[in-house]
Amino acid sequence: MNFRVQAALTAVALLAGASLSQPALADGDVVCGSGPQAEWRSERDVRRRAFQEGWEILRIQIQGDCYEVYARNEMGQAIEAFFHPETLEKLVVFRRGREIYRREGFTG
């Protein structure tokens, strides 16, 4: 097998591998350590909880085992906050990928 063919096959194999490995859907995973979803508080409760922070809520979604809230805080900053689905505790908040809040002792 000549070198050109080898190179071609390697390239094809690597490109195929790269395209098959499906990119994870955003966000370095935050792990909230919650139980089964049946035990979770409702999205409405999360909305109320985030509203109490004084935020303008853009979106609430489930991310892994967390509730993730996209919002603007009282300073108008774009933030992403993770809440524990059972206790509705605010665990960690990111602003454009930079961590700006973490509950004491939370390591997930």
When the beta carbons of 41 and 72 are compared against other proteins, the nearer one is 72
Shortest Å, Cβ 60 to other proteins:
12
Shortest Å, Cβ 50 to other proteins:
16
Most distant CA atoms of the chain, gap in Å? 68
Nearest CA-CA partner of 87 in 70, 76, 103:
103
Query: How many CA atoms lie within 13 Å of 29's alpha carbon, on the beta-carbon side?
Result: 7
Q: Give me 100's structure tokens.
A: 């700006």
Shortest Å, Cβ 106 to other proteins:
15
Shortest Å, Cβ 61 to other proteins:
11
When the beta carbons of 70 and 86 are compared against other proteins, the nearer one is 70
Binding site for other proteins (CB under 8 A): 3-4, 7-8, 10-11, 14-15, 18, 21, 23-24, 26-29, 58-59, 70, 75-78, 94-98
Burial-class residue 46 by CB neighbours within 10 Å (0-12, 13-18, 19+).
Answer: buried
Residue carrying structure tokens 């908040």: 93
